[in-house]
Amino acid sequence: MSEDLSHLLNHLGEDREHGYNAVVPPIVQSGNFTYPTVAAMRAVVQQEYDRPLYTRSYNPTVAMLRRKIAVLEHAEDALVFGSGSAAIAAAVIAHMKAGDHIVCVHKPYSWTKKLLTDLLPRFGVDHAFVDGTDAENYRRAIRPNTTFFITESPNSLTFELQDLAAVASIAKQHGIITLCDNSFNSPLFQNPIDSGIDMVAHSATKYLNGHSDVVAGVLAGTKERMRQVMMHEFMTLGAVPSPHDAWLLMRGLRTLELRVNRSADSAGKVARFLESHPRVKRVHWPGLESHPQHALALKQMKRVAGLMTIELDAPDVSAVERFCDHLRRFLIAVSWGGYESLQWPVCALQGPSGYYTDLPFNMVRLYIGLEDPQALIDDLSQALGRI
Ligand SMILES: *Cc1c(COP(=O)(O)O)cnc(C)c1O
């Protein structure tokens, strides 16, 4: 990266001379753009990808964010979507036709799984889920019609890693396109493009925004590939962010380095405390030496971020509920990546709806936010005493 990180987060692409030299870029809250002549309009229509015509394709506030995301992910270009799921769906659908086959890591993000199991089969696209802890499982699952690999390293519930360089190299040997959901790591701790992955997606709702007040997604890759996705699936599906949300995301990015490192520092302290506690059977967090893929984590990730899952030594669901209900510093909620610590008990999603019935009831996912880590540990300690 030629840019230093602090410059990238705080200045790159902000073109202040086009915004009254305001220090903070103005929000271009406009749906469309006007031209002095027919010829001027005609020229822009040919270049909708990177010139303002209509906000679904290009908006100057969103464009600033696109530039920052591209540089952060060591990519040529990036697109911003109305959600992480939209980014993933557009990236996959852009590379599919009837008869194709996708190989995906098992236990991916729930709506990535739904894309493969619910939506794509209706259009003749088949899939296989593989245990990605051995990259060779991707090779073994290849069929003559396999065109796409999906990785999510680590996945955000059981934290299993895929060796991204190995998966990318298998893909290249077979002309297969690769996507990595990099939400967990943020672009600061892992850059899959450096390992040969073609496209990187994030739920920007999580670390990138970091304040639990925006739902958005990003996709990064080569300029040619991003242009293809933009001029077809992005524009057709139309899941665009509002300029205001793009602006909030840029505000969130200013503190990305501080937030993500704080969350990771505290997670290390919390994970070590939990690992040594008698009421905790297992801590799923790749930063621990006891994690079965710790060596791979050290190899391909700069640091391990602040999301983990614990398995409680609890006899039944009510014991899990006693622990969760007594936690004062961890809000019971889905999502993660904001300033606030969260808990997500698997047993809360194991009802008649049939969600997550394949996971043990004693699992609780913890997100470590920006609070004092000792206060979080004290809180966990008293709640563990309630089991
Ligand atoms: C939240 C999440 C998504 C989906 O992102 P949205 O912004 O909620 O659509 C995808 N992948 C991972 C790992 C996530 O945590």
Are the CB atoms for 187 and 166 separated by under 8 Å? no
Residue that finishes a domain, picked among 190, 222, 254: 254
Residue that finishes a domain, picked among 254, 275, 301: 254
Under the banding of pLDDT at 50, 70 and 90, the label for residue 350 is confident
What was the pLDDT predicted at 354?
62
H or E stretch including 77? Answer: strand 77-81
For 23-44, the pLDDT digits (tens) are 999 999 999 999 999 999 999 9
What was the pLDDT predicted at 248?
98
Please state, for a pLDDT cut of 70, what percent of the chain lies above it.
98
Are the CB atoms for 88 and 136 separated by under 8 Å? no
What was the pLDDT predicted at 1?
45
> With the CA atoms of 316, 364, 118 and 237 taken in that order, what torsion angle do they form, in degrees rounded to the nearest 10?
150
What was the pLDDT predicted at 353?
63
Ligand 1 mutation target, pool 183, 186, 336, most atoms within 8 A of CB: 183
pLDDT at position 280 over 60: yes
Same domain? 260 vs 149: no
| Residue 148 token pair | 């796409």
Are the CB atoms for 246 and 62 separated by under 8 Å? yes
Ligand 1 mutation target, pool 79, 85, 344, 365, most atoms within 8 A of CB: 85
Which residues, judged by CB distance below 6 Å to any ligand atom, belong to the binding site of ligand 1?
83-85, 109, 156, 181, 183-184, 203, 205-206, 215, 217
For 96-150, the pLDDT digits (tens) are 999 999 999 999 999 999 999 999 999 999 999 999 999 999 999 999 999 999 9
pLDDT at position 384 over 80: yes
For 51-82, the pLDDT digits (tens) are 999 999 999 999 999 999 999 999 999 999 99
pLDDT at position 297 over 90: yes
Report the separation in Å between the CA atom of 387 and the middle of ligand 1, taken as the mean of its atom positions: 31
Same domain? 131 vs 235: yes
Same domain? 201 vs 308: no
pTM tops 0.95: yes
Same domain? 223 vs 272: no
Q: What is the mean pLDDT of residues 271-298?
A: 98
Report the separation in Å between the CA atom of 216 and the middle of ligand 1, taken as the mean of its atom positions: 9
What was the pLDDT predicted at 351?
75
CA–CA distance, 49 with 32 (Å, rounded to integer): 14
Same domain? 162 vs 37: yes
Nearest CA to ligand 1 atom 2: 203
Same domain? 183 vs 236: yes
Same domain? 250 vs 262: no
Same domain? 146 vs 295: no
Question: Could you tell me which residues come within 8 angstroms of residue 229 by beta carbon, excluding any fewer than 6 positions away?
Answer: 79, 90, 91, 94, 219, 221
Q: What is the mean pLDDT of residues 243-247?
A: 98
Ligand 1 atom with least separation from CA of 88: 10
Q: What is the mean pLDDT of residues 226-248?
A: 96
* Count of domains observed in the chain: 2
Pairing of strands 217-221, 199-203: antiparallel
Residue that finishes a domain, picked among 254, 287, 319: 254
Report the separation in Å between the CA atom of 110 and the middle of ligand 1, taken as the mean of its atom positions: 9
191 residue type, one letter: N
Report the separation in Å between the CA atom of 20 and the middle of ligand 1, taken as the mean of its atom positions: 36
Residue ranges making up the domain that contains 276: 256-384
What was the pLDDT predicted at 3?
67
319: domain CATH number is: 3.90.1150.10
86: domain CATH number is: 3.40.640.10
State yes or no: cis peptide before 154, omega within 30 of 0. Answer: yes
Same domain? 235 vs 170: yes
Same domain? 15 vs 152: yes
Same domain? 27 vs 134: yes
Q: Is the dihedral of CA 179, 181, 187, 189 positive or negative?
A: negative
Q: What is the mean pLDDT of residues 342-367?
A: 87
For 150-206, the pLDDT digits (tens) are 999 999 889 999 999 999 999 999 999 999 999 999 999 999 999 999 999 999 999
Same domain? 289 vs 157: no
Q: What is the mean pLDDT of residues 266-274?
A: 98
Report the separation in Å between the CA atom of 197 and the middle of ligand 1, taken as the mean of its atom positions: 19
Please state, for a pLDDT cut of 90, what percent of the chain lies above it.
95
